[in-house]
A and B are shown apart, each in its own frame.
Chain A
Amino acid sequence: MTAFFHALASQDFLQIAFIGGLLASIACGVMGSYVVVKRMSFLAGGIAHAVLGGMGVAYFFGKSPISGAIAAALVAAWVIGWVSLRWRQTADTIIAALWSVGMAVGVIFISMTPGYNVDLMSYLFGNILMIPRSDLYIMATLDGLIMLAVLVFYQQFMAVCFDEEFARLRGLPVVFFYLLLLTLVALTVVVLIQVVGLILVIALLTLPAAIAAQYLRRLAPIMVLATILGMLFTGGGLALSYTPDLPAGATIILVAGTAYLVSLLVTGFARRRRC
């Protein structure tokens, strides 16, 4: 552990990784709370896998992967959002299709990319230690956007998540706010993929908020606690992985998963005691 803090004080890449983790925690704490209370982790998973397609295509054409990721995330969010508002029953199937097709496109384009071999593993499991400094600015901008939108539209987002039909009857533009919410979820997914990769993105999106929701009964406090938990998990995972040289993304998720399990046991135990 001390080795980690020494390295953190002196090593540039580790500082960037650490800050990247903190920035990702803000997005995942706030948007993850919506994903958990609105029960849309499958939908977020679909967006994440479509993002792999976008990154692969961008890489193939020599563009930065994050621009491809953002474009694909937006398209996927709008398609999925529109479909799930329109044909509720078949939305599941369409998300699953987008999920696998996005993944397939990504794998094919990455394999076709000439020159040196792109490490597919780093897309799948992320590589927080290799985040370019410029991505920190992108992540900070996305955090700013997310927080601004949630501050301004807190009531509207809450109404759409809580009771869509009633919100529509009150004259709220439900489609607009639902798609805006999914857009923000999509951008969060992009940020998180940098940190923990595609496979683990859902875990970091849902675990902190799910733990927070076990203890708190109001949305705003859940967002705050989920953000703090996310910071603890990313920071802790990074520190734990340093000395034994474990993959950072996977270690972060193990920390989060362990915390969730412990929390489940504790609340389950407390509930049993009360009865």
Chain B
Amino acid sequence: MNPIVILKGVSFSYGGPPVLEEVDLAVEEGEFLGLVGPNGSGKSTLLKILLGLLEPSSGQAEILGGTPAQARGAIGYVPQFAAFPHDFPISAGEVVLQGRLGHVRIFGGYRAKDREIARQALLETYVWDLKDQPIGSLSGGQLQRVLLARALATQPKLLILDEPTASIDPRAEEDIFDLLKKLKSRMTILVVSHDIGFISQYVTRIACLNRRLVCHTTSALTGEMIQQLYGSPVRMIRHTTR
């Protein structure tokens, strides 16, 4: 086993109180890691450090043997919030092609090979028939699958998803996680969620974050751990879906 993500004593603040404190985390190649924690616990911030969009104020992040900025090309990312306006005049297929941007020539745009890779990604996430649809006409679940296809089109070694199912219905959520389950043989996956009960049936390991890394487990979470994470007892919701 060799870890492809190593965080050592990572702390971060946006200028105010600390958002992350002394986070140590190693993700092995081939793992499907679920990162859980309450709102505002620093999950998105941690991902942005992994992507090199933010610099830790202390500590180190190493990905694929290099700095996050160096490793970017090998990371596929599905953001929590779509940063784009939904009426932007672009089709689902064009969005997925943007996954090829890092490989595109300065002059002349995408090549046949890029289009083929984008086609595979669209097929794999079952949105090939939506490729000519404007993104504004897609449902929440369809849009998430298009964004997943865009991340897959980058041919990542590490796939990072930030609450990919936060705003879609349970059916579509299951579809997405079934897809991730298929993908995990090919790549390392790190997925953020606040739905511990649901993701624990898919992931190989769970890490709980609340400013610090609170717990770490390969087995199912116990009520005690959840209490530790959220600071108060919560009812554990069991999804009986399969």
Residue numbers of A with Cβ under 8 A of B are 37, 39, 152, 154-156, 158-159, 161-172, 213, 216-219, 222
Contact = CB atoms under 8 A, between A and B. Distances in A.
A169 B72 contact: yes
A165 B95 contact: no
A159 B89 contact: no
B185 to A, nearest CB: 24
Contacts of A156: 101, 104
Instruction: Determine the main DSSP class of A at the interface with B.
Output: helix
Contacts of B104: 155-156
Contacts of B51: 169
Contacts of A165: 53, 79, 83
Which 10 A-B residue pairings sit nearest by Cβ, starting from the closest? A217-B134, A170-B101, A170-B102, A171-B102, A155-B109, A219-B89, A163-B84, A217-B89, A162-B84, A163-B83
Interface string B68-100: 000011010101001111011111001101110
A39 B109 CA distance: 25
A43 B8 CA distance: 42
B99 A170 contact: yes
Interface of B: 51, 53, 72-73, 75, 77, 79, 82-85, 87-91, 94-95, 97-99, 101-102, 104, 107-110, 134, 136-137, 150, 154
Nearest to B75: A169
Nearest to A152: B107
Given A169-B51, A169-B72, A37 B89 contact: yes
Contacts of B87: 213
B79 A158 contact: no
A164 B98 contact: no
B101 A155 contact: yes
Given A152-B107, A169-B72, A162 B88 contact: yes
Contacts of A162: 84, 88, 90, 95, 98
16 contacts: A37-B85, A155-B98, A155-B109, A158-B90, A162-B90, A163-B98, A164-B83, A165-B79, A166-B79, A166-B98, A168-B53, A169-B53, A170-B73, A171-B73, A172-B102, A213-B87
